[in-house]
Amino acid sequence: MTELRFPEGFVWGAATAAYQIEGAVREDGRAPSIWDTFSRTPGKVFQGHTGDVACDHYHRYAEDVALMADLGLRAYRFSVAWPRIRPDGTGPVNPHGLDFYDRLVDALLHRGIDPIVTLYHWDLPQALEDRGGWTVRETAEHFADYALAVHQRLGDRVRTWTTLNEPWCSAYLGYGNGVHAPGRQDAGAAFRAVHHLLLGHGLAARALRAAGAEVVGITLNLADVQPADAGSAADAAAVRLVDGLQNRIFLDPLTGAGYPDDVLAHVGRIVEPDFLRDGDEKVIAAPLDLLGLNYYAPTYVAGRAGGVGSSAYPGTEGGVEFLPPVGPLTDMGWMIEPAGLTRLLERVAADYPGLPLIITENGGAFPDRNTEGTGWVADTDRVAYLDGHLRAVHEAIARGVDLRGYLVWSLLDNFEWAEGYRKRFGIVHVDYLTQRRTPKESARWYQEVISRNGL
């Protein structure tokens, strides 16, 4: 294969999220989040798994940072647990919660690893959910207050701040179909949540900027939506609807264009949009320095009367058919299609020009082999997945997309939300009985990619 080199200064890193790795859910003043509550609710998470211990990263962060340094990571994306910082959501800031991230940031900087902070990766304080969660406006205001508290402590050392991770998941899976915490099943609530998440982003972005944050961004899980039949008008209409619900509903208001008319009309058929207020769109359009994209798999749809639709896309029932994924698939049952990443990057760059992009998550769940005794974890499938997607990334850059970096999901095997620990995304294997970390073949491969700045 021809050698592919990446641009000078391309950011190579890995990503994680607080609830998925930290454990220590009752330590140093942390209060429950919606994921503590949800994971304790029978039937919600595979075999009742919880994040109580997870990778015990809260206690083993120093070892984990050493591992990152060994792999040569230039950047590490982690999330701050809101319930550690403001345990009851509205009361005083908990300095002990901030202490942990203080230590983590220092450890990263000591190793020359650039910290990329995510302020919200789904662990809303339960106390705020009890007051209505993301369906109420106050949560957006509390989020901005919390963001500022974190910035006050870490802002002298952290350059890059992202507000939300994947608000699509928080809103549609958390409030729409209930597959994620808080497990509500109400399409109207999902759209309320979309708006308040965006508003929270805007308020926090403004506050962070005013406090001197250098780079302010957000991470979205945009979809590469493709028609079953490229010549079909019905399929094109289905693509437009799903694209509206997953991509344009976030991208358009974030970039100053406001909510698209077709999306507003669709939402208006499901819920009275009394939560939209004058001036909100201006807040949401706070200047962005960076847009993080998470990409795993493409979405193929057809427009079909009576199509079953998807509970994850309110209002698609009866008109849209989501095509079953076709192989090869990951352990999540997600299609492996690197070309979708190139298409997505080119589309975002074309329709929302001038916005620097970074891949904040990409990776695959695969079963590991040969973990016994040898100290070697063979994950050839993951190496192939990452290699294919990095080639796709390189192609997008070659076509002119302003892509600044790539963060693999994930550094460690971890708590994969409703799937619990049975799905492994890590480039480093975690033995949950001993908490032993073993870099997989993919970690060694990635180390090589980073050191050569290329494939």
CA distance 407 to 71: 13
Q: Does 169 bind ligand PNW (CB under 6 A)?
A: yes
Task: Point out which span in 41-49, 165-173, 237-245, 280-288 binds ligand PNW (CB under 6 A).
Answer: 165-173
Q: Does 191 bind ligand PNW (CB under 6 A)?
A: no
DSSP structural state of residue 6? P
CA distance 163 to 144: 9
Residue among 98 and 173 whose Cβ is closer to ligand PNW:
173
Site for ligand PNW in 20-49 (CB under 6 A): 20
Least Å from the CB of residue 69 to ligand PNW: 23
The single residue among 36, 281, 361, 441 that binds ligand PNW, judged by CB under 6 A, is: 361
Q: Does 177 bind ligand PNW (CB under 6 A)?
A: no
Least Å from the CB of residue 211 to ligand PNW: 26
Least Å from the CB of residue 373 to ligand PNW: 29
Least Å from the CB of residue 361 to ligand PNW: 6
Residue among 119 and 207 whose Cβ is closer to ligand PNW:
119
Residue among 24 and 412 whose Cβ is closer to ligand PNW:
412
Site for ligand PNW in 215-274 (CB under 6 A): 221
Cα separation values, 377 from 111, 365, 373, Å: 26, 14, 10
Cβ partners under 8 Å of residue 354, min gap 6: none
Least Å from the CB of residue 17 to ligand PNW: 5
Residue among 50 and 94 whose Cβ is closer to ligand PNW:
50
Least Å from the CB of residue 314 to ligand PNW: 15
- The helix (H) or strand (E) run that includes residue 430 is strand 428-431
Q: What are phi and psi of 179, to 5 degrees?
A: -75, -25
Residue among 260 and 325 whose Cβ is closer to ligand PNW:
325
Which pair of tokens denotes residue 106? 């220092």
Cβ partners under 8 Å of residue 95, min gap 6: none
115 DSSP β-pair partners: 76
Tell how far CA 58 is from the center of its chain. 20
Active site residues: 166, 361
Site for ligand PNW in 422-441 (CB under 6 A): 425
DSSP structural state of residue 271? S
Cβ partners under 8 Å of residue 367, min gap 6: 331, 424
Q: How many chain residues bind ligand PNW (CB under 6 A)?
A: 11
Binding mask 119-158 for ligand PNW (x = CB under 6 A): ----------------------------------------
Binding mask 287-316 for ligand PNW (x = CB under 6 A): -------x----------------------
Residues 405 and 11 sit within 8 Å (Cβ to Cβ) = yes
Least Å from the CB of residue 90 to ligand PNW: 26
CA distance 103 to 122: 22
Residue among 20 and 94 whose Cβ is closer to ligand PNW:
20
The single residue among 11, 14, 17, 54 that binds ligand PNW, judged by CB under 6 A, is: 17
Least Å from the CB of residue 93 to ligand PNW: 25
DSSP string, 34-83: HHHHHHTSTTSSGGG--SSSTT-HHHHHHHHHHHHHHHT-SEEEEE--HH
Peptide bond into 410 cis (omega under 30): yes
Residue among 39 and 221 whose Cβ is closer to ligand PNW:
221
Task: Point out which span in 164-172, 192-200, 231-239, 443-451 binds ligand PNW (CB under 6 A).
Answer: 164-172
DSSP structural state of residue 326? -
Place of tokens 């220590």: 24
Site for ligand PNW in 394-423 (CB under 6 A): 409, 416
Which pair of tokens denotes residue 172? 């549609």
DSSP structural state of residue 246? I
Task: Point out which span in 92-100, 127-135, 161-169, 197-205 binds ligand PNW (CB under 6 A).
Answer: 161-169
Least Å from the CB of residue 20 to ligand PNW: 6
The single residue among 36, 56, 64, 166 that binds ligand PNW, judged by CB under 6 A, is: 166
Burial grade of 194 (CB within 10 A; 0-12, 13-18, 19 or more): buried
Residue among 64 and 166 whose Cβ is closer to ligand PNW:
166
Residues 397 and 403 sit within 8 Å (Cβ to Cβ) = yes
DSSP structural state of residue 138? H
CA distance 340 to 337: 6
Q: In the chain, count of helices (H) and strands (E)?
A: 16, 13
Binding site for ligand PNW (CB under 6 A): 17, 20, 165-166, 169, 221, 294, 361, 409, 416, 425
